[in-house]
Amino acid sequence: MSEMEKSDLIQQQQGHRLSEDSESDDEMVESVARQPAANVADGHGIKRPNDDDSDDDDDAGQTPAKEPRDNNATVVASHYNKLEERGLYERSKSRIFYMRNFNNWIKSILINRYLDRIKDKAALGTPLRVMDMCCGKGGDLLKWIKGNITHLICTDIAEVSVEQCEARYNNINQKNDQGGKPFTAEFFAADATLQRLREKYRDPSIDLHLVSCQFAFHYCFESLKQAEFMLKNAAECLKEGGYFIGTIPDANEIMKRQRAAGGDSFGNDVYKISFLCDTEKPPLFGAKYNFQLDGVVDCPEFLVHFPTLVKLALKFGLRLVEKKRFDEFYEESVSSGRGLLEKMQALETFPGFSRDDRERQQNREEYRHAQQYLDRKDGRHTKVGTLSKSEWEASTLYMFFAFQKMKKSWDKEGKPVYS
């Protein structure tokens, strides 16, 4: 990218989403944002089997670091290194239990979609190699097992998280009745915004089919240099036709809510965002805010100006093929993914089965949308799956993206050209 192009990027300003999609009353219930309401049979709620995906996504998102100038890399890594492992029972009592499961369901659908696309094009028996960039404690390991991949590279800035990820992988192998490893794997700690990951691979010449970065990529938008470095790490070893997928906060949605709130802080009893930058003209890079989620995460994050991301990605041969907000993706995927939605307990049954559930649901404002949905059904359904209003508002802060690696050739000056 030329210096003039970089200057152009710096001068651009934050965009705004101007339109909202229509919604189907059969699948969605209205609140401040679109709200899910999964129809279930009379007298029954969301299934509650022993869920082998229940350990997935214990992390709200792992983080690449910032540049050493403010030592934030140390702050972020320390934050995630100090997060303690929690058991399933403790997680089930969390205020955001269903929201986490819902986000985890989104990730599962996303990962499965792109693994399937890769497999559809690959010859039978082709080894499938994946990098989980910003892997955290290994919340997606079971997804990779179910995806029948061949080799996995796990990397994260937080060394303790990587150690926990490797331990989880080894534990899965020990429980494998067939005695073999579901896939080979390698683990290392690194700052993906400052260090070349390829140099740490066991085989630096490896071709990857998929790179996944879940709830973490936005940290690199502290600076142009960091964003470019992380994109290079994502793209460098991708095969032509391979995919880079990820989930990030939706900057347009965040700015929309900030302006509606009329101040630099806003949120609800689940999340809170407090801006630390000029919200009238937020910069393309370094648009900083503090994000708190149910007291679990309280770290500085950065807005991702998506048109800038698309432009930067092209420099590394990555072409945008898809992006959607979580509410849009839910609406699109709920019919085909309903079984997994129930298995992963991604929606809360309303009215609840237990006394604790019913007492929590006495907060009428949080569940008004669900009650209205049942009222419109005139007794045809007595229970429905949903998220609380606050959880839905927190979850719909996010979006996903998918980029595809383009074919590379070389111009007369020896520079790469992508098509």
For residue 344, what are its two tokens?
Answer: 């992963």
- Compute how many other C-beta atoms are within 10 angstroms of the C-beta atom of residue 360: 15
DSSP for 143-199?
A: HHHHTT-SEEEEEES-HHHHHHHHHHHHHHHHH-TTSS-SSEEEEEE--TTTS-GGG
Residue bearing tokens 């050739």 = 409
CA–CA distances in Å: residue 19 to residues 321, 324, 328, 410: 20, 13, 13, 40
- Whether 267 and 253 have beta carbons less than 8 Å apart is answered as no
**CA–CA distance, 141 with 108 (Å, rounded to integer):** 11
Residues flagged as binding site for S-adenosyl-L-methionine: 107, 134, 156, 191, 214, 219
- Whether 60 and 310 have beta carbons less than 8 Å apart is answered as no
Question: Does the bond joining 282 to the residue before it have cis omega, within 30 degrees of 0?
Answer: no
Residues flagged as binding site for mRNA: 103-104
Residues flagged as binding site: 103-104, 107, 134, 156, 191, 214, 219
DSSP for 204-245?
A: TTPPEEEEEEES-GGGGGG-HHHHHHHHHHHHTTEEEEEEEE
Residue count of the chain, please give it.
419
Convert 158-176 to b/e letters by CB count within 10 Å (16 or more is b): bebbbebbbebbeebeeee
For residue 65, what are its two tokens?
Answer: 């670091």
CA–CA distances in Å: residue 153 to residues 202, 316, 323, 364: 9, 20, 24, 46
At 347, is the secondary structure helix, strand, or coil?
Answer: coil
- Whether 58 and 215 have beta carbons less than 8 Å apart is answered as no
The closest alpha carbon to 219, from 281, 158, 303, belongs to 303
**CA–CA distance, 279 with 251 (Å, rounded to integer):** 12
The continuous run of DSSP H or E covering 259 comes out as helix 251-261
Angle at 114 between CA 110 and CA 115, to 5 degrees: 110
- Whether 302 and 308 have beta carbons less than 8 Å apart is answered as no
